[in-house]
Amino acid sequence: MKWKGSRPNVGTEWVIDVVEEEEFSPTRLGHEIHPDESIGGAQHDWHNNGLLTVNPDAPHPIYELVHRAEAEWEEKNAKASRTLEQAVEEYQRRYGRPPPLGFDEWWNYVVENDVRLPDEYDQIYRDLEPFWGIDPVDLIASQRAWEGHRDSWTIGKDHPDAPVTYLNSSLPEGMLPYFLERRISPLLELMGDLWRHVPPFHATFSPHDAPNERVDWTWKAAALDAAKRGDFLKPSDLPPGERIGWGALCPPGSLTYENTPPIGSWPTPQSTKTFIHDHVASMDVCQHPQHLLLHGLFLGAARDPIPERFPAPQFSYSSASIFSDIRAISLFGVGESDVSEDTRWEDKDDDRMVWRGGPTGMWHVDAPNVTWRNSQRLRLVNLTGSHNDPRSPVDYPSEIIQYLHPLRGTEEPVGEPLESDRGLMNRAMMDIGFAADYGNCEGVACDIMAQELGQVEHKSPQEMSKYKYFIDVDGNGWSSRFRRLMATNSLVFKSTLFAEWYSDRIQPWVHYVPIQLDYSDLYDALLFFAGDMSGEGAHDEMAKRMGKQGREWVIDYWREKDMIAYYFRLWLEYARVMSPDRKNMNFNLPTK
């Protein structure tokens, strides 16, 4: 493979030599790690926190990660229910209760619209299951009270035959027209005539990009236990909270509960090489305390949060493992009935990784205990930028990058990590920077960001399409660009804290490359696919295949019809859990 003029001549000869569960899912830990699945002799260490620890005596881990992911994706599609009877049986097996009323109408929609993977909606279960342990009378009362909460809007209907409409809002003055046009009306129109199959409900939405319902673990555990028994609790039955802070949102015994890092502290670099094998599990804040120090969702909290004990059901466009917001789908991109043609892999003439954006993710301000320099986008630009500004206080004390040998074959030990100068590598392999003006900041923080990180030229979609590798990272919440990037035939690398509506319906290492929040695996993964400075060791055909598979996934699994199917099922589930008559809100197959 030859670089097509995309990597600058750095004037240095490079020599490559031998050189590094999610809590409530009913199925996420169902795939056991079997030693005989290894494609080499020695094995890497696989953990339930979603990470793989590299064994230098085993082959490069990406070989096995891709091999296993392809097998899991093929198996998931092969086992998908083909009939209503199979879907009901699988539902009961996973969740221990009958499907909701209207499930047959939902199934008809799935069949008529060729919706793939009709069993893979565990995210809805994870979001709603705690509410099954609470008396629905109290749920309704808390939801109705929440309708008047500042910064919210509500849709719903009060009678079975009534249409679902916008009911009320308490948005900032002047914002209602925007939300009616951009979020409320598109959601109501998306479901169209299908609303008639949904029982009465009220649903309150947060207008913000990030979640905000932080729930004490003692409440969540008690509610889940009641749900498992088929019982429910009253708010007065809930056990008292024992502590404050992020650790209070996690189960006793978890790493974050036992050792919550202090607000304002700095993350500790990993001492061993790790990769993600289960992306959702790797997002679990309770098993990964360092997430609290690496993401703007937490960095902006200058004091320990006080958890809620009885949250009202609230829909948000993003949610993380320790929040109780119910995930909604952002409808940006709805109306694109097809995916436009993009540059073929063979015609992409830039082998570097590209990213453009602005410094969103938190409010960057110089204040006590606000370590804004560790926000995810600032860290990405600082780490991968070619500026190598010695003034930058971000915690990258070494200018040396350690990375795994990309030249090793499927039967060769990957060996110990190689080392290289970060600046040289960035100039050769990265085209990442802020193109937007510095916002989401105030005062001296804005000046510092502009001085240390600079600004690069904006790139049009046509210019971006020439790159083989994209990276997608969180902003203030979910990434609205992920679908568009996935449709480009390029290989997308994704680093995120947020599981989304499609997380059960996509396969990391088949459709995209999952990257940890600390970016400790970023160079290893990029070098594996793109090769070294001269292109040696590149797995170009594998990267091409994954880019193609990512585009095909968007076309087949992320259509408007797929979002409708998710919302349709979510509303049926939500209407049931909120109903005082839950026992009569089940769907049962007709007796023969």
- What does the block give as tokens for 362? 């938190």
CA max distance for the chain:
78
- Give SS3 for 498: coil
- Give SS3 for 383: helix
Q: How far is CA 247 from CA 251, 264, 362, 383, in A?
A: 8, 15, 21, 29
Burial class (CB in 10 A: 0-12, 13-18, 19+), 242: exposed
How are beta strands 430-434 and 51-53 bridged, if at all? unpaired
How are beta strands 201-205 and 153-157 bridged, if at all? antiparallel
Name the DSSP letter for residue 512.
B
Which amino acid is residue 152, in one-letter code? Answer: S
- pLDDT number for residue 23: 37
DSSP per-residue letters across 257-323: HHSPPPTT--PPPPSS-EEESSHHHHT-TTT-GGGGGT-HHHHT--S----BSSPPP-EES---TTB
pLDDT along the chain (592 residues), means of 10: 38 31 35 45 93 97 98 98 98 97 98 98 97 95 91 95 93 90 94 96 94 92 94 87 90 95 89 97 97 94 84 94 94 64 91 94 90 94 70 53 91 94 92 89 90 90 94 92 94 97 97 97 97 88 98 96 97 97 94 76
- What does the block give as tokens for 85? 């009877």
Chain centre to alpha carbon of residue 202:
27
- pLDDT number for residue 38: 52
- Which letter, b or e, does each residue of 437-469 get, where b requires 16 or more Cβ atoms within 10 Å of its Cβ? ebebbeeebbebbeebbeebeebeeeebbbbbb
Name the DSSP letter for residue 3.
-
CB 335 within 8 A of CB 322: no
Closest among 60, 29, 33, 28 to 46, alpha carbons compared: 33
CB 473 within 8 A of CB 376: yes
Name 78's Cβ contacts closer than 8 Å, sequence gap at least 6.
Answer: none
* Enclosing H/E stretch for 186: helix 185-191
Name 283's Cβ contacts closer than 8 Å, sequence gap at least 6.
Answer: 22, 50, 291, 320, 321, 496, 497, 498, 499
- What does the block give as tokens for 149? 């909460």
Report how far residue 545's alpha carbon sits from residue 489's, in angstroms, rounded to the nearest whole number. 9
* Enclosing H/E stretch for 420: strand 418-421
How many other C-beta atoms are found inside a 10 Å radius of the C-beta of residue 476? 16
Report how far residue 51's alpha carbon sits from residue 291's, in angstroms, rounded to the nearest whole number. 14
- pLDDT number for residue 4: 36
- pLDDT number for residue 393: 40
Dihedral sign from CA coordinates of 213, 216, 219, 222: positive
- pLDDT number for residue 545: 98
- Give SS3 for 134: strand
Report how far residue 282's alpha carbon sits from residue 298's, in angstroms, rounded to the nearest whole number. 17
CB 520 within 8 A of CB 269: yes
Report how far residue 267's alpha carbon sits from residue 250's, in angstroms, rounded to the nearest whole number. 19
Assign residue 578 a region: left if phi > 0, alpha if psi is -120 to 50, beta otherwise?
alpha
CB 396 within 8 A of CB 382: yes
CATH architecture assignment, domain 46-75+338-558: 3-Layer(aba) Sandwich (3.40)
* HSE-up of residue 328 (Cα within 13 Å, Cβ side): 23
CB 503 within 8 A of CB 570: no
- What does the block give as tokens for 523? 């160079």
CB 431 within 8 A of CB 34: no
Report how far residue 566's alpha carbon sits from residue 581's, in angstroms, rounded to the nearest whole number. 24
DSSP bridge partners of 467: 350
Report how far residue 502's alpha carbon sits from residue 121's, in angstroms, rounded to the nearest whole number. 8
Report how far residue 153's alpha carbon sits from residue 302's, in angstroms, rounded to the nearest whole number. 28
Report how far residue 374's alpha carbon sits from residue 519's, in angstroms, rounded to the nearest whole number. 12
- pLDDT number for residue 243: 87
Report how far residue 190's alpha carbon sits from residue 180's, in angstroms, rounded to the nearest whole number. 14
- What does the block give as tokens for 410? 């499927």
Report how far residue 19's alpha carbon sits from residue 49's, in angstroms, rounded to the nearest whole number. 27
The crossing angle, in degrees rounded to 10, of helices 444-453 and 376-384 is 30
- pLDDT number for residue 438: 87
* Enclosing H/E stretch for 468: strand 467-473
**Structural domain boundaries in the chain:** 46-75+338-558, 81-210+561-582
